[in-house]
């Protein structure tokens, strides 16, 4: 799903799995991705049917509705992240929800979803999220309590006063200055425009 040239994206060779128990929503999703140039779409009206498809083949992107009978979107993503082998378990997942309450967004994030999009959907938002995921460079985390993309979208490091838990976390300890601070006259000289002698 990488861009073909700056400002242009080619989704023609991508395979997208669409999962929604509402046939009208499923048709609308399919129309949107058809408009994006995606030729190969797999439509499922249940998450259980989607698990059977994923046991046989790979896809590039999954969109799943959160609320479905039998197996909801959260259970589906947990299954994908924990029960499947790489590289399938790394497949980007956009969860679709009709209730964008913060608790629902956290639940989606914590089950391993890559992104959450609230309904009603617009093509512009879906395209923006799809392109963001195509360039997403977050690490994939596999721990006892969580499997999925790093939940930190922006990496500001660990909270102040807390030790980092990841190998790439930098220390929050600054240390003692090795040279004296500049006084205001020195700072003013650095910022003052100077005439260049030729």
pLDDT for residue 182? 83
pLDDT for residue 4? 44
C-alpha to C-alpha distances, 197 to 45, 192, 194, nearest whole angstrom: 76, 16, 9
For the entire predicted model, the pTM comes to 0.74
pLDDT digits (tens, 9 = 90+) for 174-198: 667 788 888 888 888 888 777 766 6
pLDDT digits (tens, 9 = 90+) for 103-158: 888 899 899 999 999 988 899 999 999 999 988 888 888 988 899 998 776 666 66
**Cβ–Cβ under 8 Å, residues 95 and 66:** yes
Fold of 3-149: Rossmann fold (3.40.50)
pLDDT digits (tens, 9 = 90+) for 29-82: 999 999 999 999 999 999 999 999 999 999 999 999 999 999 999 999 999 999
User: How far is Cα 125 from Cα 2, in angstroms, rounded to an integer?
Assistant: 18
- Sorted by where each begins, the domain ranges of the chain are 3-149
Residue 1, pLDDT above cutoff 60: no
- Which of 48, 56, 59, 137 lies closest to 93 in space, CA to CA? 59
pLDDT digits (tens, 9 = 90+) for 84-113: 999 999 999 999 998 778 888 889 989 999
Query: 30-38 contacts: CB < 8 A, separation 24 or more?
Result: 32/121, 32/123, 32/126, 33/126, 35/123, 36/11, 36/123, 36/126, 36/127, 36/130, 37/10, 37/11, 37/12, 38/11, 38/12, 38/14
pLDDT for residue 5? 44
């Amino acid at each position: 799903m990488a861009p073909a040239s700056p400002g242009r994206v080619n989704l023609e060779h991508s395979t997208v799995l669409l999962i929604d128990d509402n046939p009208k929503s499923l048709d609308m999703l399919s129309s949107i991705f058809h408009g994006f140039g995606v030729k190969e779409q797999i439509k499922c009206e249940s998450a259980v049917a989607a698990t059977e498809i994923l046991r046989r083949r790979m896809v590039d992107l999954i969109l799943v509705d959160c609320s479905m009978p039998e197996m909801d979107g959260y259970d589906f993503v947990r299954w994908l992240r924990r029960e499947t082998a790489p590289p399938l378990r790394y497949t980007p997942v956009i969860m679709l929800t009709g209730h964008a309450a913060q608790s629902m967004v956290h639940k989606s994030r914590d089950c391993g979803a890559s992104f959450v999009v609230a309904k009603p959907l617009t093509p512009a938002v879906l395209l923006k999220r799809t392109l963001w995921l195509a360039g997403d460079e977050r690490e994939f985390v596999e721990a006892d309590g969580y499997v999925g993309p790093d939940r930190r979208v922006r990496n500001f490091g660990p909270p102040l006063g807390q030790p980092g838990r990841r190998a790439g976390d930098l220390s929050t300890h600054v240390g003692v200055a090795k040279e004296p601070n500049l006084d205001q006259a020195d700072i003013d000289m650095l910022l003052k425009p100077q005439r260049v002698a030729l």
